[in-house]
Amino acid sequence: DVKVTQSSRYLVKRTGEKVFLECVQDMDHENMFWYRQDPGLGLRLIYFSYDVKMKEKGDIPEGYSVSREKKERFSLILESASTNQTSMYLCASSPPATFEAFFGQGTRLTVV
């Protein structure tokens, strides 16, 4: 069974903390993505990567960075967490040349 695994379902962090959200996929997919989902705003793409060490900004990259040192792992980093980054974060992966993406269960991050 295909799997995209996010390291935590729920996280609570303090303002100003550096936060790491981890995502691992076992399908050998080239493409990996980080989205955030907020009520009334739908899913918005933060960053994506189409190869190891490659990354590209999505629609809302400000305040975030990413790391992809290995094909199966894609990390989202909040350099200095702020309350407006409280959200549901979703990781996804997909093979090349398709929009058939596989999503993780999501991490609900609360910044206090």
Partner 1 sequence: DAKTTQPPSMDCAEGRAANLPCNHSTISGNEYVYWYRQIHSQGPQYIIHGLKNNETNEMASLIITEDRKSSTLILPHATLRDTAVYYCIVRVGGGTSYGKLTFGQGTILTVHP
Q: How far apart are CA 26 and CA 94, in angstroms?
A: 11
Site string for partner 1, 12-41 (x = CB under 8 A): -------------------x-x--------
With binding defined as CB under 8 A, does residue 61 bind partner 1?
no
Question: Which one of residues 21, 24, 90, 111 is an interface residue with partner 1 (CB under 8 A)?
Answer: 90
Q: How far does Cα 43 stand from its chain's mean position?
A: 12
Could you give the CA distance from residue 110 to residue 112 in angstroms, rounded to a whole number?
Answer: 6
When binding is defined by CB under 8 A, the residue of 50, 61, 67, 86 that contacts partner 1 is 50
Report d(CA 82, CA 50) in Å as an integer: 28
Query: For the chain, how far is it from start to end, CA to CA, in angstroms?
Result: 36
User: Binding residues for partner 1, per CB under 8 A?
Assistant: 4, 31, 33, 42-43, 45, 48, 50, 56, 58, 90, 92, 94, 96-106
